[in-house]
Structure 1
Amino acid sequence: MGDLAPWQKRYEKMLVLALLFGLMSQYLFVGAPAGISVMVFILGFYGLFFYSIKGRMGGFEKWQGQASAGWLLLIPIFLLALTYVLYANSLFRQLNLFALFGLITAQTVLMTRSSTKPWYRGIFYIELFFLALVKPFAFIAVPFTLVNDRWRGKESGSETRSKLGKIALGLVISVPILIVVLSLLASADDIFLSWLAEIPHLFGDFSYGDGIWRIVVAVFFAFYAFCYIWGLLFNKTMDKSSGLAADPQAAALNSSMRIQFDPITAGTLLITINLVYVLFVVIQFSYLFGAANGLLPEGAAYAEYARKGFSELVMVALINVVLLMCGLHLIRRTSAAADWVRKLSLTVLIGCTIVMLVSAYSRLSLYEEAYGFSQTRLLVHGCMLYLGVLLVIAMLRIWKEQFSMGKAYICVSIIAFVIMNYANLDARIAAKNSERYERTGNIDISYLKTLSTDAAPELMRLRDKHPELNGLNDVIHKLQQEAQQHSKWQSWNLSKQRVK
């Protein structure tokens, strides 16, 4: 096995320093108001920055004074950072946060010649916005690529070590996904939250919530700092005239930018996430679907427990769809056994996602029983059914590679959209709310006023059954007036005609 190129070792050290910077950041800011920590944070960032751009600060200066302006910005940056040590005015502490971000961004762009525009022109600040808030996210895969290249380079040395490295990489990648997923699932289900709350007891005084927040902060600062500086280093990776990479080091990395995850790494990621999902599914069958009232957290009513969390579950389902697409298209095929593990893991992922959708659907139904029916809630019902059909199609695609999922998705999407148009949502809303009124005696008259004339026939039937219902006549009268506003034949509409 050949040695790594010096530039690759340098970028790996840059990644390690960025991770250390992230760890330092969470230590400085989580649980502690900003003070001298701001000075330490800025010094840490500049340490990472100057190490990364070492040897790249020279070059042609198109606009005279650009580099000098960059160095001069150190003065206001230092003075503004010092205010966090000297003063406590809350207004300026908040304003200085944005000012420091803008000044540091401008300085680093000027010093790396990342913009060809003069700093005193408005277009420079538009480019600054792009470089600071948009472009870094285009390089979010670079840290994983560097780690993946490092472990792939060791394959010829030790097969066992290489496999352990791939498993470790899969676990590392799963951490940020699990943070988001666990947060959503814990918000969606009180029992799942109570189970998670027991975990910290195994570690003494460790705070689960505080630990997750520290990890989120550390990962954010580490990845953002690395990707931002990477964007400055390779601001122009392609020479437009020749179509070749302007930097040979960037060219070497660009060759591996087409991400294809190793099956061991991807399998580790999917299995780790599936373990959490299987636990959650067990809870759904034991508590929600089984209506095990006696096992609910103390003081929790079943109805209140059940109707929470449908929006969080839908979000988790959408995250799983992204994971599914990555599993179908971004995992490298190596052996039949690895491919079987991939297919099985994706199938379990889809199965758990379908259970989550069923849980979300039933929770939303209970929520509607408690708070009434609306267009948004019925649309969410329809979208969950639509997503469930897409998942079934995806499961078919997992085991039958020749099946065209794209064609099926397009056809199903068109059919679903047409069905939603003909479902007559306003009429359904009126009918469902009428049924709820007869069961519970509760109805939201103010919301009924927002419905179209499609709802009029159902509302008239409700008026005939319950003429004593206050406000209903006003709603129907409003719809009748709306129908009579446009009497020209060009505006003829069946829904409005039935109300006149």
Structure 2
Amino acid sequence: MQPNITSASGEIRAPQVSIPKTPQASPQKPPFACDRTDTLFAVLAFAFGYFYIWSFEKTMTSPLIALITVGYAAFVLTYLYLRGRRPGAESWFWLAVLFSLGLPVTLWSLAPTLQIFLLHGVALYWTLSAAGVLYGGKTGNWLPFDCLSALLVVPAANFPAAFRALLDKRGGGKTRRQVGMVLLGVCIAVPLLALVLPLLASADQMFAEGIRKTGTWFLNNCGDVLLRLILAVPVGAWVYAACYGAARGVHTEPYDRATVRRMAQKAHLVPALASVTALMLVCVAYALFIALQGGYLFSGFSGRLPATFSHAAYARQGFFELCRIGVINVCLLLVTHLFSRAEDEKNRALRLGSVALSALSLLLCATAMSKMGLYIAAYGLTVKRVVATVFLVWLALVFLSAIAYQCKRFGIVRFAAISGAILVCLLCVLPVERLIASYNAAHTFSSAIGFLFT
């Protein structure tokens, strides 16, 4: 025990004892979690991968696509429930979108390649939504980050999980040893069968014929089966990685939301007056264009075609003009609100500029729809014209939501994503080609009747 120390002023102070600092342990990577359920589902994932590869050797509109969609949904839901995850309300909407893309493709499809591509993306996004690991818990302003996580980050980061679940002793007890014993048994049995089977075949003609047919089939199909087995490995591992990562929350938050928010705050570099000036100048340019080209733009509302245009050229030019202008206007609104120093809800001039730009975009959208209506009235419907019209409807909804957003804050990205998904589902679920044929037949009949009575 050390004696007390008396200072020059007579105060008694306790001796200072230096406590050695213990070195802090570096954060370690959490151990791999696995049980028998994981091992079973890893095996099922590889079996699903084989069936997936085999089915895509058929036509893309094969009924097997619907079976794959239902099988994947059942696989994910079963695994999530066994892991204690309960899908939220929004995940059932995305499951309905998944079924709308995957089930009707066996009956009809406007664009099979695009529909299959969307089917894969929605399947992975729905997996994260069902597990409740989306940023914010639902579709929102973090949608680009969620899509990147669902399509790439989570499956890639958890890619070894399926192999570890098969070989990990905790996952299947003595799985590694059992797999080795099975392989050893196969190696022992192959040379024995090579000796025994010819002797059995020489003793019985029917058995010999069966062996011959089996050998012929194996030689004819060995290459295809081997190729499917090879391709099924990465497919099954990718499927299991997405489910495992979503259910256990592993690598589901690769981005630090606080860091992203700080970066967004630092990006507010443009002064408010500069942002408002840019918006107003663009609005003035659009207003002058509309005033000078009023006869060309609004002739579709009166059913008149400009003298120098055909119906097709008039509709196509209006549609592609709107697409370019729509993309530019959406980017301008995003850049203005992301990089402006002023807060949207506190800057009335910025809000008015956004409303004016959205309203002018809606007016141009209406002119494009009138041109498309004139084209359809003259020549009837086609798949491309239906898809273009649906896209115009969605673009109008986006600009309407941009106007409503200036009055009351809500999830505009969420609205755009859900409304777009609903419109795409309608194109997939409804027999659009049959409806087009019925409309064109009725249109031709009415035109013929009108011609007779004129």
Give TM class, smaller chain: 0.3 to 0.5
Higher relative contact order (CA 8 A, sep 6+): 2
What TM-score comes out, normalization by structure 1 length? 0.34
TM-score scaled by structure 2?
A: 0.37
